[in-house]
Amino acid sequence: MSNQSGLLSARRFAPLFVTQFLGALNDNVLKNAMVVLLTFQAASWTTIKPELLANLAAGIFILPFFLFSATAGQLADKYDKAWLAQMVKLLEIGIVLVAGLGFIVQSIAILFVSLFLLGLHSTLFGPVKYAILPQHLKSDELVGGNALIEAGTFIAILVGTLLGGLLAGSAGGTAWITGAGLAIAIAGYLASRSIPAALPPAPTLAISANPLSETWRNINFARANQTVFLSIMGISWFWLFGAMFLAQFPAYTKNVLGGSETAVTLLLATFTFGIGVGSLLCEKLSARRVELGLVPLGSIGMTLFALDLAFASPAVPSPSPLGAIGLLAYDQTWRVLLDLALLGIFGGFFIVPLYALVQQRSNPEHGARIIAANNIMNALFMVVGALCAAGLLAAGLTIPMLFAVAAVCNAVVALFIYGLVPEFLLRFIIWMLIHSVYRLRVQELDQVPDEGPAVVVCNHVSFVDALVIMAACRRPIRFVMDHQIFRWPVLNFVFRTSKAIPIASAKEDPAMMERAFDEVARALDAGDLVGIFPEGKITADGTINPFRPGITRILARNPVPVVPMALRGLWGSFFSRKHGPAMTKPFRRGVFSRIELVMGAAVPAAQALPERLQLDVAALRGDCA
């Protein structure tokens, strides 16, 4: 099974998931318990102000990400990641014991050392958990696996934060904190022992002790692929955006909503629940593929609901602090909670495909070091975001105004990234078209080769045939299409971005036709997929027109495999020519009509004659146009 429930029962994923969940849980139990104790009991331990201690604690926890992420990436590329996970979990047990000693002797210094080591624990485990996924999961499981990791992480953050605060406030709290941390760490170690071996991609790698040079080298590994690097920038922006919202919840609850401590928990739980739901929905919405179209959808939702959260915030807080139940009596509270839930859901749409894309398109030899570069950028963005938020609030902005500024900045960052990598926006347009107009079912998708040159041929039923095929296939396809359709508004952006090849008939423009065949040859020489509609025109009666000899000319120059495919269900749709010109009779078939794309076995170039391919496509199509 490649769905999420199947992954949770598979040994190649379940032990890693449990190990990751328990690690994130323990980090937050210990970290939040320490912050609560430092806030309320530090006066008996030290003369340093609690507010300063809390900020120092946050900085100490994140410092190892800057110092050791590069080394962590090297270790994960050099050694078996399963073995590394076990070593990190043993380190976690030792960290809990150090924290317990700090509680016993009431030493701020020892507690800060343990907090630094907790950050080191997360730093070392980060490249392991993300770089191991492509080794143990299939390509159509990456989205589901990442979704479960992200959902589990945020649930662990929520549960750990609540449990840490609860233990810190209980009688004999330090003993309970140490005991709970030790139990969680031991359980995590036991889970890590079941993670299957993951052979290192660079076992001869020499570990460099210079974090600065290695950090720069890792960033350069990521920059080698612009899409990967900009995906890392998008992930880092998400962590800045999310961390900024989470940091404001206590003050927002108290000063804007007029709520108490339990109301803070309500907001945190709602936001975290939303991210978990959004992450888990990604697999279904993307049909188990790395669907980049969800990323712009996520950024649009994040912008809209962050703005609405700013407008939904009450101008005057409740006159007396209210708990979670008391706040729910106000209509505005429900709107705030809905905004937070949707903000989290669309955040899940945004972050999960980006993580999967980084794993899928990174050079496997440098995979863990690219993840390490991602962790460094995440930490840097979160620190910069915290400083900017503090500066804006100090300058007089209210928290709702800060949310509005963050929403506008989110839109600007999104437009910047999509401008540099139009593939994100292209996939969004295709995804919206297919999922708002049709319900697409794909059969035998694996017939399309994962790499190497090939030609795909299909029957031509409507004006959106190319878009449907592009939506179904994992690999980009360069379609050869009529130059007049190529110039259509809106769709021209899609065709230009996907590097479609415009063509004209020999009678209409022989020079353009020759340029098109030359471009097809260059594309196949480069290892690309090329798509053609051998009929040369859209069917006017639902039957397949005779295949033209253009495919023979292409294969004579580039003898590559040909994958036949057939579209079913598009005949009679708004974009077909049934009962007259296309796109003149809306809702011919209603919305969400079911369509299918069926693929057949690849045909060797020597056997791919037009007549043979036409018979193959007709057989795949069956009785349905």
The per-residue pLDDT for range 568-608, each reduced to its tens digit, is: 988 888 888 887 777 777 655 555 678 899 999 999 999 99
Question: Domain check: are 256 and 399 in the same one?
Answer: yes
Instruction: Look at residue 218 and tell me if it is in a domain.
Output: no
CB contact at 8 A, 22 and 184: yes
Tokens linked to 411: 């839109």
Instruction: Look at residue 253 and tell me if it is in a domain.
Output: yes
Mean pLDDT score of the chain, rounded to an integer? Answer: 86
Please write the tens of the pLDDT for every residue from 396-406: 889 999 999 99
Please write the tens of the pLDDT for every residue from 86-104: 999 999 999 999 999 998 8
Question: Domain check: are 416 and 461 in the same one?
Answer: no
Mean pLDDT score, 448-457: 90
Report which of residues 22 and 268 the model is more confident about. 22
**Model pLDDT, residue 302:** 95
Question: Domain check: are 376 and 469 in the same one?
Answer: no
pLDDT over 60 at 180, yes or no: yes
Question: Domain check: are 491 and 381 in the same one?
Answer: no
Mean pLDDT score, 450-468: 90
**CA-based torsion, 513, 515, 519, 521: positive or negative:** positive
pLDDT over 80 at 72, yes or no: yes
| DSSP states of 369-410 | HHHHHHHHHHHHHHHHHHHHHHHHHHTT--HHHHHHHHHHHH
Task: Kindly indicate the confidence band of residue 1, based on its pLDDT and cuts at 50, 70 and 90.
Answer: very low
Go through 600-617 and write b for each residue having 16 or more CB atoms within 10 A of its CB, e for each that does not: bebbebeebbbeebbebb
Please write the tens of the pLDDT for every residue from 484-499: 888 877 677 778 888 8
Task: Kindly indicate the confidence band of residue 39, based on its pLDDT and cuts at 50, 70 and 90.
Answer: low
**Model pLDDT, residue 287:** 63
CA distance 299 to 4: 24
Give 442's strand partners.
597
pLDDT over 90 at 306, yes or no: yes
Instruction: Look at residue 589 and tell me if it is in a domain.
Output: yes
Instruction: Look at residue 219 and tell me if it is in a domain.
Output: no
Residue 71: give its domain's CATH number. 1.20.1250.20
Instruction: Look at residue 229 and tell me if it is in a domain.
Output: yes
Cα distances (angstroms) measured from residue 509 to each of 197, 500, 532, 538: 59, 18, 19, 20
pLDDT over 70 at 134, yes or no: yes
pLDDT over 80 at 16, yes or no: yes
Question: Domain check: are 451 and 532 in the same one?
Answer: yes
Compute CA 150 distance to the chain's CA centroid, rounded to the nearest angstrom: 9
- Total domain count, the chain: 3
**Model pLDDT, residue 224:** 86
477: containing domain: 433-621
Question: Domain check: are 195 and 270 in the same one?
Answer: no
C-alpha angle 435-437-441 in degrees, rounded to nearest 5: 55
**Model pLDDT, residue 183:** 97
* DSSP strand pairing (562-568 vs 454-458): parallel
Report which of residues 52 and 339 the model is more confident about. 339
- Least confident range from 28-37, 63-72, 424-433: namely 424-433
Residue 547: give its domain's CATH number. 3.40.1130.10
Instruction: Look at residue 494 and tell me if it is in a domain.
Output: yes
Instruction: Look at residue 361 and tell me if it is in a domain.
Output: yes
pLDDT over 70 at 228, yes or no: yes
Question: Domain check: are 415 and 542 in the same one?
Answer: no
CA distance 489 to 492: 5
| 420-423 long-range contacts, CB within 8 A, separation 24+ | 420/226, 420/230, 421/226, 421/227, 421/230, 422/493, 422/497, 423/227, 423/292, 423/476, 423/497
Please write the tens of the pLDDT for every residue from 183-203: 999 999 999 999 999 988 888
- Percentage of the chain surpassing pLDDT 70? 94
CA distance 334 to 341: 10
Give 322's strand partners.
259
Please write the tens of the pLDDT for every residue from 497-533: 888 999 998 888 999 999 999 999 999 999 999 999 9
Instruction: Look at residue 334 and tell me if it is in a domain.
Output: yes
Question: Domain check: are 468 and 403 in the same one?
Answer: no
CA distance 265 to 268: 5
Report which of residues 38 and 224 the model is more confident about. 224
- Percentage of the chain surpassing pLDDT 90? 39
Question: Domain check: are 311 and 356 in the same one?
Answer: yes
- Least confident range from 53-62, 100-109, 127-136, 454-463: namely 53-62
| Enclosing H/E stretch for 530 | strand 529-532
Of 207, 238, 269, the position where a domain reaches its end is 207
Report which of residues 252 and 336 the model is more confident about. 336
Task: Kindly indicate the confidence band of residue 4, based on its pLDDT and cuts at 50, 70 and 90.
Answer: low
Question: Domain check: are 201 and 247 in the same one?
Answer: no
**Model pLDDT, residue 49:** 63
Mean pLDDT score, 8-13: 89
**Model pLDDT, residue 622:** 83
Of 181, 207, 233, the position where a domain reaches its end is 207
Question: Domain check: are 415 and 438 in the same one?
Answer: no
**Model pLDDT, residue 47:** 60
Half-sphere exposure of residue 381: CA atoms within 13 angstroms, side-chain side: 20
Question: Domain check: are 253 and 349 in the same one?
Answer: yes
Of 420, 452, 473, the position where a domain reaches its end is 420
